[in-house]
Structure 1
Amino acid sequence: MAKLTMTAHKQPTGKIRIIAGEWRGRKLSVLDKPDLRPTADRVRETLFNWLALRLPASRCLDLFAGTGALGFEAASRGAQSVVLVERERDIVHHLQQQASVFNAKQVEVIQADALRYLANQPTPFNIVFLDPPFSSDVLTSCLQTLTNGWLAPNALLYIEQSRETVMPDLPQGSTLIKQLMTKQVCASLIQF
């Protein structure tokens, strides 16, 4: 008797709640994938308190979208547009489904490697989220590339990294304005 083989798509295994805004209390489903690490509620709440006055009508880029928590939270709180960049095809498909469920017309999901995306013609963003997998070493490259036209005047850049990781050198003309340390994470907000 022949064996039947089926390719199984990853199923959502968890939920992340949107903290505030239009979709307050709604939940994003999260796929069970290695390196897919949602930003903790406490860290997200602090970050979006930092961004509260700058977020409405802003253009946001979530360069390592993963769960989409940062990008969807920004859209829920009034961002004019949010671009979610993710390289994993199944995660991209899942994020597109989430955008459809939320009727999030201001959210665009793009399948691309972060550095390849940044190799395109730059479009300036007001707020950029950099939350790569902790095992990667792309922060320095992303920071250097973002300064080549990707940041609008007075842009804000959020970096989330492992607490043990050394903060990369900040580009000239940028200033670290806020920082939060938890047991596992160092969350930094940089002004350009």
Structure 2
Amino acid sequence: MKKNNNIYIIAGKLKRRKIPILYQKKLKPTTNQIRETLFNWLNKKIINAYCLDCFSGSGALSIESISRGAKKVTLLEINKKIINNIKKTIKKFNIIEIKTIHTNTISWLKKKKTNYDIIFLDPPFYSNILEKIIFLLENNMWLKNNSWIYIECSKYQNNIKTPKSWFLYKNKTTGLVNYSIYIKKTNYFIELNKNNKYTL
């Protein structure tokens, strides 16, 4: 079975464990460099968090979350071969905190189930699916006040619309990838800094 280079867990109880990646044309694992930046942004927010990984791909974001102390992760993936590979990795690492679901993310999000503390959005680039997912997350109340939303996309997708209650916390571009963290705020006054970004 053809495979790409392994990626590895950066920190936490599973540090340095390698994640085998199936070769798939549209599979685009979040790089080690970007994941390190992302989880530095999340810092202590990941501890005991309930996370939703909407387009799991390699499973790296889900596994890294558990490694760093997340309570539970719900992992969604439409590709059967990919999710079977993730299940093998989870079993090998003896992880019981990740629930894997073989599903179409849009269809799954149309049903109201629960709220999440952190949501990862890393859909295939140029799929025109990102704003549909954002709409479903907001309107079907998958988010709570203070939920954190991570969005990864092509640097050329610079006109993504987000709800008014989503405030940009961090944003960075590395190579061809743009990635951002938003915080949903609804219950109290928000102070914005001079760059119109949310300040903790």
Residue correspondences, number: 183
- Structure 1: 5+ residue runs without aligned partners? 1-9
The residue that corresponds to 1:72 in the other structure is 63
Letter in 1 for 2:132: S
Residues 53-107 of structure 1 deviation map (CA, whole Å, 9 limit, x = unaligned): 1000000011000001111100100000011100001111111111101111001
Conservation of the 8 A alpha-carbon contact between 1:177 and 1:191: yes
130, 143, 161: which one aligns with 1:139: 130
Within 5 Å, give how 1:104-143 maps onto structure 2. Answer: 104-143=95-134
Q: Distance in 1 between matches of 2:17 and 2:159?
A: 33
Does residue 159 of structure 1 match 2:118?
Answer: no
Runs of 4+ in 1 over 4 A off after TM superposition: none
Deviation larger for 34-43 or 154-163:
34-43
Deviation at 1:166, TM superposition (A): 2.3
Q: Distance in 1 between matches of 2:85 and 2:9?
A: 17
Conservation of the 8 A alpha-carbon contact between 1:174 and 1:191: yes
- DSSP-derived class of the 1:12 partner: coil
Letter in 1 for 2:125: F
Query: Normalising by structure 1, what TM-score?
Result: 0.92
- DSSP-derived class of the 1:30 partner: coil
Within 5 Å, give how 1:27-46 maps onto structure 2. Answer: 27-46=18-37
Deviation at 1:11, TM superposition (A): 4.3
Distance 1:105 1:167, change over 3 A: farther
- DSSP-derived class of the 2:150 partner: strand
- DSSP-derived class of the 2:162 partner: coil
The residue that corresponds to 1:95 in the other structure is 86
Q: Distance in 2 between matches of 1:54 and 1:150?
A: 18
Conservation of the 8 A alpha-carbon contact between 1:163 and 1:184: yes
Within 5 Å, give how 1:44-83 maps onto structure 2. Answer: 44-83=35-74
Conservation of the 8 A alpha-carbon contact between 1:14 and 1:31: no
Q: Distance in 2 between matches of 1:11 and 1:76?
A: 27
- Structure 2: 5+ residue runs without aligned partners? 185-200
Letter in 2 for 1:185: V
- DSSP-derived class of the 1:127 partner: strand
Residues 147-185 of structure 1 deviation map (CA, whole Å, 9 limit, x = unaligned): 121112200000000011124111121101100111210
